Copies of this chain bind each other. A is one copy, B any other.
């Protein structure tokens, strides 16, 4: 794959980069804290295999919450819609992504959607496999297929740090285990989940994942159906209703590009039927989304009329 620097994109990136000083790099683990606050990069990948880019595109970063959409796709392929959505809902929530309160106040105690942590943990627990190794291998294989990049692997330092500090996620898991929503060993689930979040990619990779989703799950080059169209639709819908933490509603109005963000500063975006977007900008706004990335998507949406609404 060849990706050319685009002057117009570069101008947008530089304008958006000015906002990075107002954000904050995630600091709960050392590996994230070391990120450069002013980094910002963008890649656009089209179904005709064209790619354009701007900014610090060679930087690698971990998927973090962006992995939630990929785990969801895999879990639905493994278990079917019915089984997955018996254990996790489809509704957006006004609560923070790591909140536990609704698990207690709602009956049954099932997480409202697969994009909040509780829901994502349930989803990951439904990936098929006889070991953590096999489950993770299957998720990585999906990522390799979507990115056409089989060198993608786990950042083990990040995974280890997250594993050691994931007490809130353990709390969510044990709560759901009490209520029969999550089964099996919690420590193993946390290990799998933190490794899933530590999958390391570049903007190009993200952009190609977005392009595959925009193209309804099929790789336009090989014609291979990586995901069933129905699953691509489900994933895209969640990206709109719950993809940007509890700024998703505002983002839908101001930007209108189905997107999923992660605490590393990653944003996966897409515009049906032909465009995938990958962004990296580790400085986060108060909602936990890349501050430069959100600005950049606003500018892209306005300049090229990309809102789906």
Contact = CB atoms under 8 A, between A and B. Distances in A.
Contacts of A250: 89-91
A101 B241 CA distance: 22
A233 to B, nearest CB: 5
Judged by DSSP, the binding face of A is helix
- How many copies make up the complex? 4
Contacts of A248: 91-92, 241
A252 B256 contact: no
A12 interface: no
A253 B234 contact: yes
A99 B104 contact: yes
Contacts of A160: none
Contacts of A105: 101, 105
A177 to B, nearest CB: 5
A50 interface: no
Contacts of A234: 253
Give the size category of A's interface with B. Answer: 35 or more
A256 B249 CA distance: 16
A144 interface: no
Interface string A94-110: 11000111101110000
17 contacts: A89-B249, A89-B250, A92-B93, A92-B241, A94-B95, A94-B112, A99-B104, A167-B175, A170-B171, A170-B174, A170-B186, A171-B174, A174-B174, A233-B253, A237-B256, A238-B253, A240-B309
Interface of A: 89-95, 99-102, 104-106, 112-113, 167-168, 170-175, 177-178, 186, 233-234, 236-238, 240-242, 246-250, 252-253, 256, 258, 272, 307-309
Given A91-B246, A101-B104, A233-B307, 20 more contacts: A89-B249, A90-B249, A91-B92, A92-B242, A99-B104, A100-B100, A100-B101, A167-B174, A167-B178, A168-B174, A170-B171, A170-B174, A171-B171, A171-B172, A174-B174, A233-B309, A236-B309, A237-B253, A237-B309, A240-B309
